[in-house]
Structure 1
Amino acid sequence: MVVDVPLDSSGAGRGEERAPAALRRAGLLQSLAADDGGQVDEARLRDATRDPVSGVIDAAGLCRAGAAVTARIVEVIAGGSRPLVLGGDCAILPGICRALPPVTELWFVDAHPDFLDGTTSPTGEAADMDLSVVTGHGPAAATGLDGPLLDPDRVHLLGHRPSSDDSGRVEVARIDPTIRQLPAAELLRQGAGAVGASLAAGEDGPAWLHLDLDAVDPRDLPAVTYPEPDGLRWPDLVALVTPLARADRLLGMSVTDLNADEDPDGRYARRVVEVLAEVLGRPGPAARPG
């Protein structure tokens, strides 16, 4: 079941906000034979002001959006469906994780670790700090809750290649050491398909797959807000994600960071739809929490 969460955590209404609509125009529902779970209307920020206490842009609006996302994901999973959540940017992740059992394993595929906080983030966007928030290292103002939403030891950070500037070095130093990291270069050395298959078969219990499309090399997908070089090419991404997306224990998947403003003719949205149709294949039964 496809659920739209058009959240752009800059509060400026950038192209990520229009990504769910762009993917639908590109034929996503038809390609996946998916049910339509509608849109989380509360998931829009319109205040670009950075909260002086937490350092997060529109912290109050972000909490409201997150609570609405949580309620929708709980409803979808309880109804026996497997949600495919279309962002928006990675700030949708805390709201999703609040809906999941704390023992959920998170497969986090992203060009960036997203491990800054309200002080170290140069932007104040919650998408800079979503993984730190869900593992208990980010500002509580982003969710309105204290403490981790998921166990860091059950998080796999995959395909990242953080920048070498001061912000990137600070971010890498903040990453919880219990998080299992496989940067893009090492992932490719081991073989993307082998990594995906090993993770899919590796542990018991429920799992969630989060895919930030900037994990793809900008030579293949330039229509993202914060592109990083030396990423996964499309065949690598497909090889990595296919076994994860088809795992029986998968509760659902989120896809973020297509910037529709950088894709005026829709060619990249169509390519993303083709890839999602390939990796998801025929829809299977929803995994059950627990």
Structure 2
Amino acid sequence: MDRRDWFLLGAPWDCSGTGRGEAGGPAALRAAGLTRHAGVDLGDAATVISDCRRDERTGVRALPETIAAAHALAASLGAGMRAHSGRRPLVVGGDCSLLLGVFAHTRQCIGDVGLWMVDGHPDYLDARASETGETADLELAVLTGAGPPGLTGLGRAVPMVEAHHVALIGHRTLGLDPASAAELAGLPTGLLTIGSPELIGDPHGAGSRAAAWAAPLGMPMWLHLDVDVLDPTILPAVTYPQPGGPDLDQLAAVLAPLASTPDLLGFSIADFRSDLDPGGRHAADLVKLVDRVL
């Protein structure tokens, strides 16, 4: 693939509504050279969230603004895919809640789309059980149909993605606290899980396994990278770091078989905290990672 195959769309989305550094991720990664991977840069979707209040009924933080952000990203993504039908979207966040906007579009306009979710966390909480109520704690649950109707219904049809069309890759499985262990145990059946120890032990094999799992589905696949999958000794510029993750070489090896599949519909990158990277070194590392993968 070369730069002519992609268009870039920013999603400066911080589901906490506190002005954390995730919203600065698109600008920081552009400044580090990410735009060279796209023949077209469509700028940013209107996904800025400034409300940090939790909805009393659902426990979701910034619920009305989150719904509006998801619709805005879905609209911008759809417009970009129609105008540049020969290119794949590269969506850059912002936090991983951007997947709500991505799948709000794909569910309505494409139909069944599978998900490779490379993430250090399962993101499968109920908002009321979350300490923060942030949608970054629960987007996988919402995508697969568990959560408030205002969120699960963003794609009109529920679920936005079937659980057995999801592969969760790189999440931590060892040394978990009781709450994290309960979250992991609550994942729906049918979902493919490839934990961080398996990824680290054989990165290319883990990526090849996830690619082979998707092939019989016969559907477009979305590749999502939450950069907190990386070990914090490699990338500390995230909100919720966890030890036990891969390094950049291992992550590149697992992503490469997924990025090269002909069924790849699009790619998203989330959760980089530009405010924790004042010198831009980590942004440059992430752009080099994209160089290797794409």
Task: Give unpaired runs (5+ residues) of structure 2.
Answer: 1-6
Question: Within 5 A, what are the aligned runs for 1:190-205?
Answer: 191-202=202-213, 203=215, 204-205=218-219
| Residue identity matched to 2:135 | A
Tell me which of 249, 256, 260 is aligned to 2:270.
Answer: 256
- Is structure 2 residue 13 aligned with structure 1 residue 7? yes
RMSD between aligned residues: 1.5
User: Which amino acid is the alignment partner of residue 223 of structure 2?
Assistant: L
Post-superposition shift, 1:17?
Answer: 0.6
Pairing 1:57–2:44 present:
no
Alignment of 1:166-185 (within 5 A): 166-185=178-197
Out of 88, 95, 99, the residue aligned to residue 89 of structure 1 is 95
Q: TM-score when scaled to structure 2? A: 0.90
Q: Specify the code of the residue in structure 2 equivalent to 1:197.
A: S
Partner of 2:40: 35
Deviation at 1:143, TM superposition (A): 5.1
CA contact (8 A) 1:15 1:262 kept: yes
Q: 1:76 to 1:246 in 2, by over 3 A?
A: farther
- How far is the alpha carbon of 1:59 from its aligned partner? 0.5
Q: Are 1:156 and 2:167 counterparts? A: yes
Three-state SS of the structure 1 residue aligned to 2:200 is helix
Q: Given residue 125 of structure 2, which amino acid in structure 1 is its aligned partner?
A: L
Query: TM-score w.r.t. structure 1 length?
Result: 0.91
| SS of structure 2 residue aligned to 1:13 | coil
The aligned residue for residue 188 of structure 1 is 200
1:19 is aligned to: 25
1:219-250 deviation per Cα after TM superposition (whole angstroms, max 9, x unaligned): 11111110000101111100000121122111
Gap runs ≥5 in structure 1: 281-290
Aligned to 2:134: 125
Query: Alignment partner of 1:70: what SS?
Result: helix
Q: Which residue of 2 aligns with 1:233?
A: 247
For each residue in 1:173-197, what CA deviation from the matched residue of structure 2 results, as whole angstroms up to 9, or x when unmatched?
32112111111112233x1112212
Aligned length: 277
C-alpha distance in 1 between matches for 2:42 and 2:104: 19
Structure 1 residue 46, shift from structure 2 partner: 0.7
1:33 deviates by 4.4
Q: Is the contact made by 1:140 and 1:147 (CA closer than 8 Å) also made in structure 2?
A: no
Query: Aligned to 2:88, what secondary structure does the other structure show?
Result: coil
**1:183-220 Cα shifts (integer Å, max 9, x gaps):** 1112233x111221233344122100010000011111
Note the alpha carbon deviations across 1:94-142, whole angstroms, 9 max, x for none.
Answer: 1101222342120000000000011111110000000000001122333
Distance 1:164 1:223, change over 3 A: same
Residues 141-150 or 248-257, more deviating: 141-150
Letter in 1 for 2:263: R
Contact 2:169–2:195 (Cα < 8 Å) also in 1: yes
Look up the match of 1:110.
119
